Amino acid sequence: MPRPSVILDCDPGVDDGVALLLALRAREQLDLLGITTVAGNVPLERTTRNALALRELCGRLDVPVHAGCARPLRCEPVLAADFHGESGLGTLRLPEPRTSAAPGNAVDFIASTVLAREHQSVTVAVTGPLTNLATAFEQQPRLAARLKQVVWMGGARREGGNITASAEYNAYADPHAAERVLRAGCPFVAIGLDATHQVRSTGARVAALRELRGPYANAAAELMDFSNAIERRLSGGDGAPLHDPCVVAWLLDSALFQTSPVDLRIETNSALTRGHTAVEFRNPDGGERQVRWVTQADAGGIFDLVMLHLRP
């Protein structure tokens, strides 16, 4: 089977960091066309620096990195340094990148790449706010119809929220962008907290990762340890959710997930429930739905993929 052609849009971010390591190391399984960065967990300068540093760690200078939008479409920026550290990568220390972001804005790169390639052959995988993709849709209205699919880590239904009582961070950070992308009507997979809370970086799993004794596994374990320390402080639990790597795991093996077709809407008007994802499973009209909501995730299978691809 041909490798999926993917643009990875991200805001690294601790769990984005693990997702990037997984995507960059899966050279034989993914045709990674480029990495685009957006402001989110930390400001754009830092998300771009982190993407460049992780790219260099993995020796993947063949994959361009393009910096994108520095702020949400309409809202004031909301950072998440409390969960990701000031650098965005927790306690992981990487050398300053020797390379720079490629010329040209991420929005233009997404649009030009998708439009230049075969119809519905490119997936945009998003592990941060949807600002870059929404802006690309605004500038190129025909872009949505050209995409194979969008796979997004975002939203919550059963699990409530992780930035407010009712909102997941990526939806909250730029709800107008999320609503714009959903309105575009392209095939859309949403991997929200309902799924990612099933995938935990337990102490045993992190220990197994460290046993691989390689630079990629060690980096991922350091990132997970940072998240786990915060999880213990906030909830006393063993193992933080491994949110963003689920997006890359979907690209590598979607059979690890169960989905349902839904009508998905994002709250943009209420300050109290900003970024809330209204997930409607009922379909009284029987019409075709383009959005699939992930309901189940195989945690063991997903972590097996991490172990496989982060070996030295």
- 298: Cβ contacts below 8 Å, ≥ 6 apart: 256, 257
Q: CB neighbours (10 Å) of residue 256?
A: 20
Write the single-letter amino acid at 172.
Y
The Cα–Cα gap between 237 and 74 comes to 35
Q: How confident is the model at residue 59 (pLDDT cuts 50, 70, 90)?
A: very high
What residues act catalytically?
A: 243
Residue 165's pLDDT is what?
A: 95
pTM above 0.95, yes or no: yes
Specify the pLDDT at position 82. Answer: 84
Q: What is the mean pLDDT of the chain?
A: 96
Structure tokens given for 113: 């790449």
Quick one: average pLDDT of 109-137?
A: 98
Mean of pLDDT values over 28-35: 98
Is the CB of residue 151 less than 8 Å from the CB of residue 125?
A: yes
How many angstroms separate the Cα of 252 from the Cα of each of 43, 58, 121, 259, 299? 29, 18, 16, 16, 14
286 pLDDT above the threshold of 90: no
Please state, for a pLDDT cut of 90, what percent of the chain lies above it. 94
Q: According to the model, what pLDDT value does residue 237 have?
A: 81
259-271: per-residue pLDDT in tens? 999 999 999 999 9
Mean pLDDT of all residues in 214-222: 98
Segment 81-90 shows an average pLDDT of 90
